[in-house]
Structure 1
Amino acid sequence: MKVKVLSRNPDDYVRETKHDIQRVPRNYDPTLHPFEVCREYSRALNATKLDRVFAKPFLSSLDGHRDGVNCMAKHTKSLSTVLSGSCDGEVKLWNLTKRVCLRTFQAHEGFVRGMAVRYCGTSVFTVGDDKTIKQWKMEAPGYGEEVEPLSTILGKTVFTGIAPHQKDGVFATCGQQVDIWDEQRSTPIRSFTWGVDSFSSVHFNPVETELLASCASDRSIILYDMREAAPLKKVIMTMRSNTLCWNPMEAYYFTACNEDYNLYTYDMRRLDKPIMVHFDHVSAVLDVDYSPTGREFVSASFDKTIRIFPMNASHSREVYHTKRMQHVICVKWSADNRYILSGSDEMNIRLWKAAASEKLGVLTPREKEATNYRLKLREKFKHFPQIRRIAQHRHLPKGVYDQSKQLKEMKEARRRKEKNVRAHSKPGSVPVVSEKEKHVVTVVK
């Protein structure tokens, strides 16, 4: 005789943390749960409000420089190590975990214009206003040893930027021209010029490692291939670009920060117009850096704020600022995708969270599930007016708020004038030019 017996596993109805509280069984049949969307909307609204309540992005500041921080560099092998160079020629090595300075050395006379950590992480190259390229050991010297560079290369002109190769002992510098250097030689192995007075920055592509790009003083962005004898092509814009950054996940995309308060994301295969124009800054954008995922980037501006943009969105999702922070000159996104570093005029390096309301520390499985559930709810209902208003609202400094309002009025006036001119002109004589095409003058190949 076969007897059927009910058997239940206690793991199905007893909670993980406190075993005295029993889990309530649920029937997920939608007919038994009317008003489900109404409840989810209420939960999404509460999640959006709590996200703004717990948004405290600022973590700490790294004090120690005696002049404005002009450049920063991430260590290629260590998450917790970062280098910073200041306007008085001093370079500092920081430990972000302990938030202390590990070592300090006088690298140059005048500004430190750029730093590049070697691909293996054993040494760092620096360039400065004294027309030299110096290589320094990453480890601090022993007791009684003097701080001396491993090698020094004296150039003919001032170097304004440096970029390391991702895989080889090769690096690029820019100044009056773009030079490719081998670590074992004191003269460049290749030089590129294209009728330009000077260059402000140069960057290697992290995916297609033979490609590099530079920003020039004639308002152009020039692309190069190390295997070619001449530059590939260049795009000339209406205003000058300060620097650029390649997308680490998509080889052909890069984002340039411009003097006209905007950032432009290009596909290097089609330079006739950018694939996206990023607005919101109210002064010149000085630096940009991508997240390791390639989905977002952070920008530093002369308007004393830093902004985080999704790569495929024209407006920022986040803006960070403090009362004491002055013009932000350089910015970096940490390699673990969780933190942002900014260096500004008033001698401070600030550490921020990439997600303003993210909880730091170890999360329990229930906390992770609740966080992911709230995130999906906010994503589902993000277009509802009340939720969108709460999620997008940010408190801005009065100067930034007033200037953004003024820029909006100016843009609306130009759009209205163009519409009136087109309405009172011969049909077809005033063509419609998209916002993406307005800022590109020409492409030279």
Structure 2
Amino acid sequence: MKVKVISRSTEEFTRERCQDLQKVFRNYDPNLRTLEKAVEYTRALNAAKLEKIFAKPFIGAMDGHIDAVSCMTKNPNHLKGIFSGSMDGDIRLWDLATRKTVNQFPGHQGAVRGLTTSTDGDRLLSCGTDCTVRLWKVPVLKMIDPNESNEDYSQPLAVYVWKHAFWAIDHQWDGNLFATAGAQVEIWDQNRSEPINTFEWGKDTTVSVRFNPGEPDLLATSASDRSIAIYDLRMSSPARKLIMQTKTNAICWNPMEPMNFTAANEDCNCYTYDGRKLNEAKLVHKDHVSAVMDIDYSPTGREFVTGSYDRTVRIFPFNGGHSREIYHTKRMQRVFCVRFSCDASYVISGSDDTNLRLWKAKASEQMGVLLPREKRKLEYLDAVKERYKHLTDVKRIVRHRHLPKPVYKAAALRRTMIEAEKKKDERRRAHSAPGSMPVQPFRKRRIIKEEE
């Protein structure tokens, strides 16, 4: 004999934290909810306004260096650790949670120009203008007692001396090799005192070098002769070279799309290229009003952060032409280096005023633990803002930013100059023979020539 009974679980009808509150069930039939679009638009507008109210991106400054911060690197094995090097030869390991120095690595006699960590995260490599590359052992943050001395980590494991000053360094993503940039591009092995390979294309100084995250034998460099070159360690000669109208200060590969890289240029713009097709840029990222000094991609590959000579930090979407966020303070000077944290939640910037600054990647993000209902609410508001972002009021509120007065005036002047140049080209084309002045897009016009 079968008996049918009604079984109701308490969890299905009450909220997760408050057992005395009933869940609210809604019927999403559009025939019953005729004003749904109007309600969602109002929610999107309120969410955009609240985002501006709660936007407090600056977390704190890390003070300790006595000269300008020139370079930074992060450790893939330790989420809260960041290394920084300054112009007086000082290298420090910082704990982002406490914003204090954990350890110092003395030894360089001149400016530290490059920092990188090995594949396993146990070794730190530094290079500088004193013609040396130093290999350090990395301390584990949780094992360090601040009351004890860290003498084991203050002496380098190895010192590589060479003929010329170094301007950049980067380690292979998978392997024991690392590359240095200077008068030439040298490939080093940690177990050898001299470089195992040397690349040279032109006689000018190489200012940056980055290994490809997807293809360990591929690396990209930029030089002071305005060139961007791609080298393959399996070949005896360089692979591709690109010459632009202005110098490129830094290069960064997209970790999720390793065929693409973005170059930070002196002409205030960033250019995203496909490494397989260098005759034109895929995208031009505009907004800075002075030279872009450094660039770093988020671990997700969806955003990148830039630091500029105009004393601002900007965050760009990887497929957007304009920045979604700008960070600045009254005391921050020219920004020489920027990095995303390993969890893509924070941005660290190093500037000329000897400070490292910690920022939130999302200015209005709530710090701390969120309940499941709070997470769902925030996700819903983000989806609503995304849905109505093209409408006038929502777009205006989301895009509005307060800029420092010098940056605001420089941006207005830059717009005037670009409009004048555009009008001049149009008039010159109108008074020339048809076809004598071909129209060329900006992403191609900035490239002088490409060599193979």
- TM interval, shorter chain, is over 0.9
User: 2:52 maps to what in 1?
Assistant: 52
Residues 394-437 of structure 1 show CA distances to partners (whole Å, capped at 9, x for unaligned) of 00000000000110111111111111222222211121111111
- Structure 2 counterpart of 1:376: 383
1:52-201 equivalences under 5 Å are: 52-139=52-139, 147-201=154-208
Change (3 A) 1:421 1:366: same
| Residue pair 2:103, 2:150 contacting (<8 A) in 1 also | no
Instruction: Select between 147-156 and 347-356 the one with higher mean Cα deviation.
Output: 147-156
Secondary structure in 2 aligned to 1:307?
strand
Identity %: 49
- The one-letter code sitting in structure 1 at the alignment partner of 2:171 is P
- Which residue matches 1:437? 444
Give runs of aligned pairs for residues 343-422 of structure 1, distance below 5 A. Answer: 343-422=350-429
Query: How many Å separate the matches in 1 of 2:149 and 2:40?
Result: 62
Matches within 5 A, 1:259-274: 259-274=266-281
1:234 and 1:144, CA in 2 relative to 1: closer, same or farther beyond 3 A?
Answer: closer
- Structure 1 stretch displaced more, 347-356 or 19-28: 19-28
Q: Report matched runs for 1:237-276 at 5 Å.
A: 237-276=244-283
Q: Which residue identity lines up with residue 321 of structure 2 in the other structure? A: S
Aligned partner of 1:340 in structure 2 is 347
CA distance in structure 2 between the partners assigned to 1:205 and 1:144 by the alignment: 35
3-state DSSP of counterpart to 2:192 = coil
Q: Residues of 1 paired with 2:151 and 2:158: CA distance?
A: 20
Write out aligned runs for 1:13-32 (5 A).
13-32=13-32
Unaligned runs of 5+ in 1: none
> What is the Cα deviation at residue 228 of structure 1?
0.5
Q: CA deviation at 1:106?
A: 1.9
Equivalent pair of 2:138/2:153 in contact (CA under 8 Å): no
Q: Give the match's secondary structure for 1:196.
A: coil
**Gaps in structure 2 of 5+ consecutive residues:** none
AA in 2 matched with 1:412: E
**Structure 1 residue 76: deviation in Å?**
2.4
Going from structure 1 to structure 2, the CA distance change for 1:425 and 1:287 (only over 3 Å counts) comes to same
**Alignment length, in residue pairs?**
445
- Give me the whole-angstrom Cα distance separating, in 1, the residues matched to 2:150 and 2:78: 24
Task: Quickly say closer, same or farther: Cα 1:146–1:207, change in 2 above 3 A.
Answer: closer
Q: Spell out, residue by residue over 1:157-200, the C-alpha distance to the aligned partner (whole angstroms, 9 max, x if none).
A: 11111101112111000100000001111111100001232100
- The 3-state SS of whatever aligns with 1:32 is coil
How far, CA to CA, are the matches of 1:167 and 1:23 in structure 2? 51
Measured at CA, do residues 327 and 386 of structure 1 come closer, stay the same or move farther in structure 2, by a change above 3 Å?
A: same
Tell me the distance in 1 between the aligned counterparts of 2:28 and 2:129.
Answer: 68
Contact kept, 8 Å, 1:76 with 1:118, in 2: the verdict is: no
CA deviations 1:227-277 (Å, max 9, x no partner) are 110000111000010010011011110000000000000001110010000
Query: How far apart are 1:122 and its partner, in Å?
Result: 1.6
- Mapped to 2, the partners of 1:187 and 1:395 lie a distance apart of 51
Amino acid across the alignment from 2:40: E
Amino acid at match of 2:35: F
Q: CA deviation at 1:95?
A: 1.1
**Greater displacement, 241-250 / 20-29:** 20-29
Structure 2 residue 226 is the aligned partner of structure 1 residue 219: yes
State how far apart, in whole Å, the 2-side matches of 1:145 and 1:284 are: 40
- TM-score when scaled to structure 2? 0.95
Relative distance call for 1:146 and 1:285 in structure 2 (3 A) is closer
Conserved in 2, the CA contact under 8 Å of 1:196 and 1:216? no
Q: Is the 8 A contact 2:137 2:153 kept in 1?
A: no
- Does the CA contact (< 8 Å) of 1:196 and 1:217 recur in 2? no
| Distance (whole Å) between structure 2 residues aligned to residue 310 and residue 417 of structure 1 | 32
2:409 counterpart letter in structure 1: D
- Contact 1:66–1:347 under 8 Å retained in 2: yes
The SS at the match of 2:105 is: strand
Q: Residue 228 of structure 1 aligns to which amino acid in structure 2?
A: M
Deviations along 1:15-59, one digit per CA (max 9) or x if unpaired, are 222222222332222111111100000001001111111111111
Per the TM alignment, residue 144 of structure 1 is displaced from its structure 2 partner at its CA by 6.5
